[in-house]
Amino acid sequence: MEDAEEIQEILLTDDQKIDIAKWFLLNSPPGEIQYVAKDLRSVLNDENVYRRAASEAFPAYNKLHIICLQFPNRSGEVLVSSFSEISEDEYLDPRTAQVGKIDHVRQICTQMRPARDEELPSQYIEEYRCALDAEISKYVGEAYPKGVCSVYCTSGKDAEDCGSDFEFVVVITATRNSPQNFCNGSWGSIWNIEFKDELQTVEVTAHYFEEGNVQLDAKHECRDSTMFQSPDDSADSLMNIIRHHETEYLNSLQASYSNLPDSTFKELRRKLPVTRTLFPWHNTLQFSLTRDLTKELGIEK
């Protein structure tokens, strides 16, 4: 009787199960949430609990990782992000002026429709957006294998002429999924661009993030500015800023990865092994497993 009571005490409520399931789903590595979801569904063995957890976790996960989905007729693609979100399951692709309806759990675009006038920027703003989108697309095509990008107007989209301030967000994302090789990863850049007519400047703030199959997260922010110019000239200046900062940061990441064996991985070792003797990193050549075993077994030549 006492054992039964103890077991009863550790049983989880449905809400607790949902919270735990959501944690696992939200912390799934890039490209692996469907694998995690399949295992969770089996472990929970409760379809109602699983559906509730998935309905809350998948939309947040998809926006966090900025997944890219094809339109049903292959006429374009839409990025699922907080910047493109029109409603809970509708997302705008400004390049094609279409809105895709998303099934978050299945991670597919099920329907599409033309964007309404109120969902799109004015012609004046669109000239700047299109010019920047063209430059960004060219850059991403050169710099990121299978990379995708989009430019959104997040403020001042109704401006009709000079004298108005407005803001863009440039989103760049790239994924490389190779589960058969146990290697999935994603890259994302988010550029907040403020056009300030009164100051005749354009301020640029960036946030980069990268994630890998060992849940390695790298994040970085930077700030820059340039002159407020015509659409084409502004796009060219902004593209040079983005290219410079991303190249600089990627080079620093490459240098860090090159030093992983000598720095980071070394720090992951316990300071003293069970022998209580420091490992001689400065002279690892003195160790030879074959020689030590030969000596131990008494079969030296």
| Per-residue pLDDT tens listing for the chain (301 residues) | 455 555 454 688 999 999 999 999 998 888 889 999 999 999 999 999 999 999 999 999 999 999 999 999 888 899 999 999 999 999 999 999 999 999 999 999 999 999 999 999 999 999 999 999 999 999 999 998 889 999 999 998 998 877 788 999 999 998 887 777 777 778 888 999 999 876 666 777 665 555 554 556 667 788 888 888 889 999 999 999 999 988 888 888 777 666 665 555 555 555 555 666 665 655 655 555 556 545 655 555 5
CA–CA gap between residue 102 and residue 89 (Å, rounded): 5
CA–CA gap between residue 83 and residue 92 (Å, rounded): 9
State the fold for domain 9-64: Ribosomal protein S3 C-terminal domain (3.30.1140)
Which pLDDT score is estimated for 213?
46
Helix (H/G/I), strand (E/B), else coil: 173: strand
Which pLDDT score is estimated for 124?
94
Give ranges for CATH 3.30.1140.60 in the chain. 9-64, 66-118
Is the sign of the CA dihedral 155, 159, 161, 165 positive or negative?
negative
Q: Is 49 exposed, middle or buried (0-12, 13-18, 19+ CB in 10 A)?
A: buried
Which pLDDT score is estimated for 103?
97
The class (CATH top level) of 66-118 is alpha beta
**Structure tokens belonging to residue 184:** 């999935």
Pick the CATH number of 121-258 from 2.40.30.260, 1.10.10.60, 3.40.50.720, 3.90.1150.210: 3.90.1150.210
The dihedrals phi and psi of 68, each to the nearest 5 degrees, come to: -110, 130
